[in-house]
Structure 1
Amino acid sequence: MDYEYDVFISYSHRGHVKDWVKNHFQEELTKSLWDVLPNDPRIFVDYEIPVGTRWPEKLEDALLKSRCLVAIWSPPYFRSEWCMAEWTSMRKRQQVLGETNGEAPTLIYPIRFADGDHFHPDAQATQHCRDLSKYGHDGEQFRNTPDYVAFQREMRTVAEEVASLIDCAPEWQADWPVDRPEAYRKIPQSRLPRL
C-alpha cells in the first residue's frame, strides 16, 4: 500500500467556501501543482465522491491515504465535526511522527478563507496560515476580475509550499490515526441481502 492522494482538501460545506473550492480553489491548485510536481497531482476533494459510495468510509480512507491536508479555515469549519475530525487526524499524525532534528513535521497547510476571530484556539495560535480571504468570491464572475489574476499568483505560491509538504511527507503507514466524528457513529450500517 502507498499514498493514493498528494493532497486532501478539507473545508466546510456551509457559507461560500464550498462553491469557492469547487469553482476556483481546486482548479487553480491543481494547475499550479502541475507546474511544480514531477508527477500529475492527485487531489482528493469530497464533492468528487461517486454517487452510491459510502462517503464516511471514503473520507476516512482518502484521509488515511493522503500525504498532506490543505485546510480551508472559516468559522463553520470549526463547528463541523467532520472538518475537525479531518484536521485533528492529521495533527495526530504529526504528533506520531514527533520531532526530527528539532523540528516537528508539517502535514497541514492552513488557508484562511474568512474571519479568523472565531477560529479554534489552536488554529489562532498557528504561526503560518495563508490568508486568501480577500479572494473569497464564489461566483463565476470572479474569474473576470483583476482580483483573479492576483489570486492565481497567490495560488502559485500556495502550490510551491504545498509541493514542499508533499515532498517531505513520511512513508505511508497503514495505522495512521484517524478521528471519527460522533455523527459517523450514528450513520446506520446498511446490510445488503445475501444472495
Structure 2
Amino acid sequence: MARVYEYDVFISFDRKAAHVAEWVARHFAPMLKRYLQDNLGDVGVFTPGAGRTGDRWPLRLRHALLRTRLLIPVCTPNYFRDEWCGAEWDSMAERERTTGMASREIPNGLIHPVIFGDSATYPPHAHERTMVDFREYAYGSAFFEASADYLDFERLLRRFATTLAELRDEVPPWRPDFPVLTPMPGEPLVPALPVL
C-alpha cells in the first residue's frame, strides 16, 4: 500500500455532461498539469474517466481520492446534483474537518472549485468557497484554441496553477485512514422477462 500521495490534484466534474468532459480533457486538465509542472516538477493529475479498460471505476475513484492532495471541482448546477460528484466533494470536506483544514486556525482548504456554469444555483456550502470563474472560457471545441480568448484562459489557468502549487506544501501528511465517501448503491436492476 502506498504511504504517500500519488496525485497532486483530482479534477472532479459531472461525467454525464459531454461538453464539460470535453473541456476538461481538451483544455483544462492538460494545461493545468503543464503549469503545475512549471512550478513543481513532476505532478500527478487524476481525471475520472481516464482509466484503463476493465478498471472497476468505483474502486479506482476511491483509491485516487484517498491518495490526492487537492480537489478541483468543475462546478455546474448539475455537478451538485450528481451523487458521485457530491461524494468526491464530501470526502475532501470530511478530510478538512479531520485535519483542521479550512478552519479559522488554518483557512486554506483542500477544495478549490472552478466555475464552469451558472453559479447562482449552487448550494450554500459551495458559496462558502472562493471560486475561480472560468465561464468566459467554457468551450470544449478545438476552435476555442484559435480564439482571441484562449490567451486569457491560459493566463487565468497559470495563476490558478501557481496558487495550487503554493498550497501543496500546506496539505497535511498522507494517512491511510482519510475518509472516502461513495454514494449508496441504488436498487438492483430487475431484468425484464423475455417475451416468448
- Per the TM superposition, whether the score is higher than 0.5 is yes
In 2, Cα distance between equivalents of 1:163 and 1:186: 42
- The 4+ residue runs of structure 1 with deviation greater than 4 A are 185-188
Shift of 1:111: 0.4
2:54 maps to: 52
Unpaired runs of 5+ in structure 2? 190-196
What secondary structure is seen at the aligned counterpart in 2 of 1:168? coil
Matches within 5 A, 1:56-95: 56-95=58-97
| Aligned residues with identical type, % of pairs | 37
Say which of 121, 126, 133 aligns to 1:123.
126
In 1, Cα distance between equivalents of 2:62 and 2:16: 20
In 1, Cα distance between equivalents of 2:47 and 2:106: 29
Unpaired runs of 5+ in structure 1? 189-195
Say which of 29, 32, 35 aligns to 1:29.
32
Relative to structure 1, the CA distance from residue 42 to residue 186 in structure 2 (aligned partners, 3 Å threshold; closer, same or farther) is farther
State the superposition RMSD in angstroms: 1.8
Relative to structure 1, the CA distance from residue 57 to residue 186 in structure 2 (aligned partners, 3 Å threshold; closer, same or farther) is farther
TM-score under structure 1 normalisation? 0.89
1:113 maps to: 116
How far does the alpha carbon of each residue in 1:16-69 deviate from its partner, in whole angstroms, 9 at most, with x for none?
Answer: 2111001100011011111111x3111011121111010000000000000111
In 2, Cα distance between equivalents of 1:119 and 1:14: 18
In 1, Cα distance between equivalents of 2:97 and 2:81: 23
Shift of 1:103: 2.1
Say which of 162, 165, 176 aligns to 2:164.
162
How far does the alpha carbon of each residue in 1:75-132 deviate from its partner, in whole angstroms, 9 at most, with x for none?
Answer: 1100100000000100000000116882244111110111001112110232x10001
CA contact (8 A) 1:94 1:104 kept: no
1:5 maps to: 7
In 1, Cα distance between equivalents of 2:188 and 2:150: 40
User: How many matched pairs?
Assistant: 185
TM-score under structure 2 normalisation? 0.89
